[in-house]
Amino acid sequence: MQINSIEFILFVMAVLVLYWVFPKKYKYIILLISSYIFYISNSKKLTIFLVLSTISIYFIALKVQSISDKLKLNLKEINDKDKKKELKKSAKLSQKKFLIIGIAINIGILWFLKYSYLFSNLFNSISLFKNHNISFPSFKFLLPLGISYYTLQAISYIVDVYRGTVKADKNFAKVALFLSFFPQMVEGPIGRYDKLAYQLYEPHKITEKNLKYGLELMLWGYFKKMVIADRIAMYANEVFNNYTQYNGIVILIGIVCYTIQIYAEFSGGIDIVRGVATLFGITLEENFRRPFYAKSIDEFWRRWNITLGSWLRDYIFYPVSLSKVTTKISLFSEKVFKKTYIAKLIPVAFSLLFVWLGNGIWHGAGLKYVIYGIYYYVIMMLGKFLDPLFKKIINILKINTKAWSYSLFQMFRTFVIVCGGMLIFRADSLHTAKSMFRSIFNIKNNLEIIFNGKAFLLGGLTSKDIVVLVISISIFVLTSILREHKVSIRDKFEEQNLVFRWIVLYGLMFSIIIFGIYGKGYDVQNFIYGQF
């Protein structure tokens, strides 16, 4: 059941009616049952892995919480400071053991299903190279829906209980709902227990405002997905699937098209998901903040897939940066480089390495995904280490960094770097990415292709499709510009008269029906981030 299907819309409508008529006390049960119906319809027997993750974090969190509660009671009865320290140390050690077990279970399930094939093949290749007769069987498993998303949510929950940020919930159904809430199972956003859980459990009223805002957000998401992303995917798929037949400008346009496609689709999907949640009075985290207005790669990743970035920061970067190993590296770098900026950057570079390895591995089981993460890591670190040099060059050349032209240059530079990352991400292999990158500079027949218009009419695209893309992308860009300049489009829209508002909404709806890519003659474009 794809979220861009009629079946999903009918499903949401049915759940909404049930949620409305059921007593307040049991509304969250309706969401839980609906979430499992949705999940089972997509993952069938693989739902067992979601159940296993839920059971593991439920009992692990309760055990960690009980150790913490018992410690508080014991501390009240003890006056000796040394005994208190010893008791705290012992309790923390016990909590940590259970935490490690919980993380190991959930990472183990993810590794077994998603990465065991890659590692067994890698081991067998090394064994064959060294003439060893040892080999592991290689199995490629079907992945449960959203396993990479709910695994991160599961880990964040038990870690937050361990840190004392949240209390372990004794209601199993509530923990199960947090992990399985159906709108976000396809492609996030990644929820946190302290921000999402209470919203899921509270009995919300079905209000006119929530229905209106939710449906508007869903319409906008479907517009981005079906009119822009799925149409431009026709070109991008043709180029990437048959890259040996093209070169130069065609390859370059294909990479740009894919970059636009994945942004329109991913952000559109999140809009649909957040719109559905809004119908029920639930607010999911924002996952995009106009990333192509970013002036650096650092800023881009603060605006792109925000919930993944914040998860990696809180559960990988901070623990690594506060570890004993990083402390030793920091002391060593201070001895060698004294109190220079390099001394401060080295421990940061060490911690960020794990973040970007995690980012790459999370996206997929393959060397190209590791390189995808390292690609951004290297660019980011080069930017940080060379920052003083860049500032000197700017001062020497007397460049006005506050000028709009300089900001435009920074945004264009960031976009080019991101396109490079998207090439690695989309290509079938690193070899393919390398080959496509080289072919960009093969300008043979480029001028002829451009003047004949052949460069823009691939994959079944027609001149009418190009017109639709130009208009729809222009609307997308215009709304982004307004939001970037702090204009609340929703508030401005509400200020308009009723006739104008209905014209806009009907226009958006009919543009999806008329210009959306679906039906006979078209391949249904699954959500790219749905595979993770």
Q: In whole angstroms, what is the distance from residue 52 CA to residue 45 CA?
A: 12
Same domain, 258 and 307: no
Handedness of CA 65, 185, 110, 152 (dihedral sign): negative
Burial class (CB in 10 A: 0-12, 13-18, 19+), 313: middle
Domain count, the chain: 3
In a domain, 489, yes or no: yes
Same domain, 74 and 116: yes
Flag whether pLDDT at 382 surpasses 90.
yes
For residue 374, the surrounding DSSP H or E stretch is helix 367-385
Asked if residue 106 lies in contact with residue 155, where contact means CB atoms within 8 angstroms, the answer is: yes
Amino acid at 518: Y
pTM, entire model: 0.89
Provide the token pair at 450: 């451009």
Same domain, 165 and 213: no
Flag whether pLDDT at 470 surpasses 90.
yes
Phi, psi of 136 (to 5 degrees): -105, 145
Same domain, 380 and 463: no
- What angle do the packed helices 341-363 and 324-337 form, to 10 degrees? 140
Last residue of a domain, one of 403, 426, 449: 426
Handedness of CA 510, 515, 521, 527 (dihedral sign): negative
The pLDDT of residue 133: 58
Provide the token pair at 384: 């940080």
Last residue of a domain, one of 203, 220, 245: 203
Same domain, 282 and 293: no
Flag whether pLDDT at 456 surpasses 80.
no
What is the number of other CB atoms lying within 10 angstroms of the CB of residue 495? Answer: 10
Same domain, 366 and 265: no
In a domain, 197, yes or no: yes
Amino acid at 102: G
In a domain, 176, yes or no: yes
- Which of 257, 229, 259, 254 is CA-nearest to residue 239? 254
In a domain, 434, yes or no: no
Q: Mind listing the pLDDT tens digit for each residue in 135-164? A: 555 555 677 888 989 999 999 999 999 999
In a domain, 248, yes or no: yes
The pLDDT of residue 525: 60
Same domain, 448 and 408: no
pLDDT bracket for residue 261 (50, 70, 90): very high
Q: Which residue has the higher pLDDT, 381 or 115?
A: 381
* Long-range contacts of the stretch 376-384 (C-beta < 8 A, 24+): 376/297, 376/301, 376/421, 377/352, 377/353, 379/297, 379/417, 380/297, 380/298, 380/352, 380/356, 381/345, 381/349, 381/352, 383/296, 383/297, 383/298, 384/345, 384/348, 384/349
For residue 422, the surrounding DSSP H or E stretch is helix 404-426
Mean local confidence (pLDDT), 405-425? 95
Same domain, 320 and 368: yes
Same domain, 459 and 325: no
In a domain, 98, yes or no: yes
Last residue of a domain, one of 373, 403, 426: 426
Q: In whole angstroms, what is the distance from residue 254 CA to residue 251 CA?
A: 5
The pLDDT of residue 514: 85
Mean pLDDT check: name the lowest of 175-184, 227-236, 390-399, 513-522.
513-522
Place of tokens 């709902």: 177
Flag whether pLDDT at 498 surpasses 90.
no
Same domain, 195 and 249: no
The pLDDT of residue 71: 85
Q: Mind listing the pLDDT tens digit for each residue in 368-380? A: 999 999 999 999 9
Mean local confidence (pLDDT), 108-120? 76
In a domain, 274, yes or no: yes
Please, what is the average pLDDT of the chain?
87
Same domain, 311 and 407: yes
In a domain, 431, yes or no: no
Same domain, 241 and 302: no
Q: How far is CA 404 from CA 281, 409, 475, 483, in A?
A: 40, 9, 22, 18
Range of the domain at 332: 289-426
The pLDDT of residue 19: 92
Q: Mind listing the pLDDT tens digit for each residue in 164-201? A: 999 999 999 999 999 999 999 888 899 999 999 999 99
